[in-house]
């Protein structure tokens, strides 16, 4: 995702050649990708896409990874049928494209997904994970939906002009030290506001030497230097879900 003040291209990174273990379903007015865990646990996780959309193989890979750890996972089309951003798109048009895909205006879709998970998947405890655009969405829903037991926002842009601290339940924020999209000053400001005002558990973790997209857009074998950070971030994500969902 691009910084809203200074639009900056998002590198698609390594697009995985991955088919997925789940299936596509219709959830009221939107489509979604759903993967079931090896055994029923009554737990579910909503996975929110980045700008490359709900069908992006890397996001489905992460959803399947989470499902394998005991959660029904669902990747809804939060763009509601609108086209995702294409890597070869004209970045000068990105700000206008983004205006029609507001990560903070997804409540209708979240309501539909929560109903689906409870009625059709037997979900009793639900968490949410989001990447890039989806990280912004996670921050929003964790301040809106107390029924979401835990959230993980992965490199979601922080806006300093609004409330960023009224979290309803435990939330983990993952950032990259060398993120061209999210300056460390924004991370620092978020840290200060949460420390001063937040009344629930939270954690902010910045990964040394990493860039935007490292958790889901880099292959684990991309380099010996990056692999430990990718593995650690994914492990932290799962540990947070296990602890609070």
Is the separation of the CB atoms in 27 and 112 below 8 Å? yes
Is the separation of the CB atoms in 217 and 13 below 8 Å? yes
Known catalytic residue: 212?
Answer: yes
The one catalytic residue in 132, 139, 216, 226 is 132
Is the separation of the CB atoms in 132 and 212 below 8 Å? yes
Q: Cα 63 to the chain's mean position, in Å?
A: 10
Known catalytic residue: 242?
Answer: no
**CA of 231: how far to CAs of 2, 26, 69, 191, in Å?**
25, 33, 15, 24
d(CA 120, CA 142): 23
Reported as type and span, the H/E element at residue 107 is: helix 107-120
Nearest residue to 144 via CA among 116, 109, 192: 109
Known catalytic residue: 86?
Answer: no
The one catalytic residue in 139, 179, 216, 226 is 179
The one catalytic residue in 139, 212, 216, 226 is 212
d(CA 106, CA 88): 26
> What is the SS3 assignment for 35?
strand
d(CA 176, CA 192): 18
Catalytic residues: 132, 179, 212
């Amino acid at each position: 995702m691009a910084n809203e003040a200074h639009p900056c291209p998002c590198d698609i990174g390594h697009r995985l050649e991955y088919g997925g273990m789940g299936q596509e379903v219709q959830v009221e007015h939107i489509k979604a990708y759903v993967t079931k865990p090896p055994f029923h646990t009554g737990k579910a996780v909503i996975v929110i896409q980045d700008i490359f959309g709900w069908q992006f193989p890397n996001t489905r890979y992460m959803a399947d990874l989470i499902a394998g750890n005991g959660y029904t996972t669902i990747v809804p089309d939060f763009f509601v049928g609108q086209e995702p951003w294409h890597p070869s798109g004209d970045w000068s048009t990105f700000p206008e494209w983004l205006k029609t895909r507001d990560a903070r205006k997804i409540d209708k879709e979240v309501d539909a997904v929560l109903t689906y998970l409870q009625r059709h998947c037997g979900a009793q405890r639900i968490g949410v994970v989001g990447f890039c655009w989806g990280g912004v969405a996670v921050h929003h829903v964790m301040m809106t939906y107390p029924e979401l037991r835990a959230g993980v926002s992965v490199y979601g842009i922080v806006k300093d002009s609004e409330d960023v601290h009224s979290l309803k339940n435990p939330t983990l924020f993952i950032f990259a030290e060398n993120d061209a999209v999210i300056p460390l000053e924004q991370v620092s400001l978020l840290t200060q506001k949460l420390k001063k005002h937040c009344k629930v558990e939270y954690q902010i973790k910045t990964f040394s030497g990493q860039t935007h997209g490292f958790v889901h857009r880099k292959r684990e074998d991309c380099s010996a230097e990056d692999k430990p950070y990718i593995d650690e971030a994914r492990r932290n994500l799962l540990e947070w879900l296990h602890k609070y969902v």
